[in-house]
């Protein structure tokens, strides 16, 4: 295992998180690395599914083959888009990397920082929606919080269509 890294990418299946994933695969991921996708679902009452079992600790590591199965992902309340799945399957095949997914429930800022420590991650890549200053002040910025509070190197990939 010497030399293998565990690289995290925060994803919410938006276009900016796909850009962050593409950037990580093109610029950071090396042969033999482990790629962990971290996704955070909102807190709430869930009647069925796996969420009740893993609400506090997050899901177990979900292998790529299960992440690609819509029936399994429905249990976690996820619907990964085809483009994200294509990026992951191509990277896994070409770079011979291990791809897993970890699902958390709660506040994205806190859960991503928790994932950095508990997994632990060598580095994290996260997208940025490019909120303007006013929206960022009101809504808060997940990427800004993680940069300032995460315990590993964090790379923020700016969304191409961001506002000035």
The 10s digit of each residue's pLDDT in 8-30 is 999 999 898 999 999 999 999 99
- The confidence score (pLDDT) of residue 1 equals 40
Structure tokens at 101: 């997914």
Q: Go through the domains of the chain in sequence order and give each one's CATH number.
A: 6-149 (3.40.50.620)
How many distinct helices (H) and strands (E) make up the chain?
A: 8, 6
* Residue 130 scores a pLDDT above 80: no
Higher pLDDT, 79 or 140: 79
Cα separation of 15 and 9, whole Å?
14
- The confidence score (pLDDT) of residue 10 equals 96
Binned at pLDDT 50, 70 and 90, residue 2 comes out as very low
The 10s digit of each residue's pLDDT in 134-149 is 555 554 588 889 999 9
Nearest to 123 by CA among 105, 150, 100, 142: 150
**135: region left, alpha or beta (phi > 0 left; psi from -120 to 50 alpha):** alpha
The 10s digit of each residue's pLDDT in 30-76 is 999 999 999 998 876 555 555 666 777 888 999 999 999 999 888 88
- The confidence score (pLDDT) of residue 133 equals 61
Binned at pLDDT 50, 70 and 90, residue 128 comes out as confident
Binned at pLDDT 50, 70 and 90, residue 163 comes out as very low
Mean pLDDT in residue range 107-112: 93
Q: How far apart are the first and last CA of the chain?
A: 43
- The confidence score (pLDDT) of residue 44 equals 63
* Residue 94 scores a pLDDT above 90: yes
- The confidence score (pLDDT) of residue 48 equals 55
């Amino acid at each position: 295992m010497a030399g293998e890294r565990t690289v995290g990418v925060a994803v919410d299946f938006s276009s900016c998180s796909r850009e962050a994933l593409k950037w990580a695969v093109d610029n950071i991921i090396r042969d033999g690395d482990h790629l962990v996708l971290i996704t955070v679902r909102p807190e709430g009452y869930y009647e069925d599914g796996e969420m009740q079992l893993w609400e506090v600790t997050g899901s177990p590591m979900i292998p790529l083959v299960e992440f690609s199965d819509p029936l399994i992902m429905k249990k976690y309340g996820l619907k990964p888009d085809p483009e994200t799945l294509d990026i992951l399957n191509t990277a896994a095949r070409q770079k011979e990397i291990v791809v897993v997914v970890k699902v958390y429930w709660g506040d994205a800022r806190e859960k991503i920082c928790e994932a950095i420590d508990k997994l632990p991650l060598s580095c994290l890549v996260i997208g940025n929606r490019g909120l303007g200053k006013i929206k960022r002040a009101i809504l808060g910025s997940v990427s800004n919080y993680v940069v300032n509070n995460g315990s590993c190197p964090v790379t923020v990939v700016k969304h191409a269509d961001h506002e000035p």
